[in-house]
């Protein structure tokens, strides 16, 4: 059976293999995702983001239980851009050791950059499509949300959950970094540590300063480790989902996502092509290699390359 056929029939090894291909940026994975595209669009995509250590993985684990208790299947992708060499193995092992290992309705996978700089976003998108085609009802995507992430979670997921810790200063950092706007649901995690009210007020004050939006992100106080407030987190996600559907925003979000993905796919191919032309037996490539005094003009070379590509019919 083909890999696509095996994946569609529910073969978990086929799914795992396909995701590995995506991670390796193997063109087969892109072909596979394209082939499986008609089988996608059913999964609901939830992004979990927030500063390191705020409890995203623990929350994912707790959410999986709530989702499973409601009879839905779930896929979890933990994206770890910081570990290009281990492929996110440490994080993956931690999360894979969880209690869901034997449940066939749960698929957990971590993804690393594997040395493909800039390829992680593409790999993650492909993995999401693969899980969607595999038939998962809900897909949770965990990413570290500090600073400028190459992976713009809000353009990848339907609902973005932002985790914060009480009294840690990361709420302030988050507000300063302008990350607040991407949240559809706030989770103040580790409520057992105290100080959640102060953090709640900080978020409320910051939101009050911003423009009025049709969706007011709820702030849920929870303890992922103690599994308190997790059902409320899920309710908040579902109410955001209902808002998106009723307002028509789900359609526009998904349209925007397809647009971003097309741009990303074209960019990825263009990058490869540019490298191939520069390394190959082309006029621009030769000029680059023959140059000895380092006085080449990258702007002119880029123009030349684009012209060369156009003359080759863009192939
Ligand atoms: N006290 C307390 N600790 C928690 C809670 N939730 C998570 N933790 C702990 O916080 C630490 C970090 O949790 P993770 O779930 O790994 O956090 P993360 O955001 O996934 O971290 P990275 O993936 O490294 O960015 C772990 O030691 C957890 O056990 C909670 O509700 N209360
Ligand atoms: Mg984590």
Task: Give the mutation target among 60, 64, 153, 225 for probing the ligand 1 site: most ligand atoms within 8 A of CB.
Answer: 225
Q: What is the pLDDT along the chain (315 residues), one digit of tens a residue?
A: 899 999 999 999 999 999 999 988 898 998 999 999 999 999 999 999 988 889 999 999 999 999 999 999 999 999 876 654 444 444 444 554 567 878 899 999 988 766 666 678 888 999 999 999 999 999 999 987 655 455 578 888 999 999 999 876 666 776 766 677 889 999 999 999 988 998 899 888 888 887 888 999 999 999 999 999 999 999 999 999 999 999 999 999 999 999 988 998 898 889 888 999 999 998 888 888 887 777 788 898 899 888 887 777 654
Instruction: Identify the residues whose C-beta falls under 6 Å from ligand 1.
Output: 50, 52-58, 91, 144, 189-190, 192-193, 223-226
Residues 6+ apart with CB under 8 A from 20: none
Cβ 244 vs Cβ 280: under 8 Å = no
Return the C-alpha torsion angle 70, 108, 268, 179, nearest 10. Answer: 60
CA distances in angstroms from 20 to 38, 190, 309, listed in the order given? 21, 34, 31
CA of 55 to the centre of ligand 2 (A): 7
Instruction: Please give the class, per CATH, of domain 41-246.
Output: alpha beta
Helix (H, G, I), strand (E, B), or coil: what is residue 171?
helix
What are the domain boundaries of the chain? 41-246, 262-311
- Which atom of ligand 1 is found nearest the CA of 94? 16
Confidence at residue 101, expressed as pLDDT on a 0 to 100 scale:
76
What pLDDT, on the 0 to 100 scale, is given for residue 81? Answer: 64
| Predicted TM-score (pTM) of this structure | 0.88
Q: Measured in angstroms, how far is the CA atom of residue 259 from the centroid of ligand 2? A: 29
Predicted pLDDT at 119: 77
């Amino acid at each position: 059976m083909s890999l696509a056929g095996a994946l569609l029939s529910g073969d978990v090894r086929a799914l795992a293999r396909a995701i590995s291909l995506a991670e390796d940026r193997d063109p087969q994975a892109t072909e596979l995702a394209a082939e499986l595209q008609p089988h996608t669009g059913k999964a609901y995509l939830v992004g979990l983001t927030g500063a390191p250590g705020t409890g995203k993985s623990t929350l994912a684990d707790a959410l999986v239980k709530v989702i499973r208790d409601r009879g839905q299947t779930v896929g979890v992708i933990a994206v770890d851009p910081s570990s290009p060499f281990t492929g996110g193995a440490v994080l993956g092992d931690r999360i894979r050791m969880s209690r869901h290992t034997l449940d066939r309705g749960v698929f957990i996978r971590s993804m690393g950059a594997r040395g493909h700089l800039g390829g992680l976003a593409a790999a993650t998108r492909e993995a999401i499509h693969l899980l969607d085609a595999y038939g998962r009802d809900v897909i949770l995507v965990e990413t570290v949300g500090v600073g400028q992430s190459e992976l713009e979670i809000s353009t990848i997921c339907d609902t973005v959950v932002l985790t914060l810790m009480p009294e840690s200063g990361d709420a302030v950092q988050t507000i300063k970094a302008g990350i607040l706007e991407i949240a559809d649901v706030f989770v103040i995690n580790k409520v057992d540590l105290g100080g959640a009210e102060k953090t709640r007020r900080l978020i409320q004050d910051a939101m009050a300063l911003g423009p009025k939006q049709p969706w007011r992100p709820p702030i849920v106080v929870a303890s992922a480790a103690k599994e308190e407030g997790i059902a409320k987190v899920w309710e908040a996600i579902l109410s955001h989902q209902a808002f998106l559907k009723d307002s028509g925003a789900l359609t526009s979000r998904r349209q925007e996502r397809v647009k971003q993905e097309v741009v990303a796919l074209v960019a990825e191919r263009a990058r490869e092509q540019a490298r191939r032309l520069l390394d190959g037996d082309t006029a621009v490539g030769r000029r680059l290699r023959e140059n000895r005094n380092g006085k080449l003009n990258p702007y002119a070379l880029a123009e030349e390359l684009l012209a060369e590509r156009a003359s080759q019919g863009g192939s």
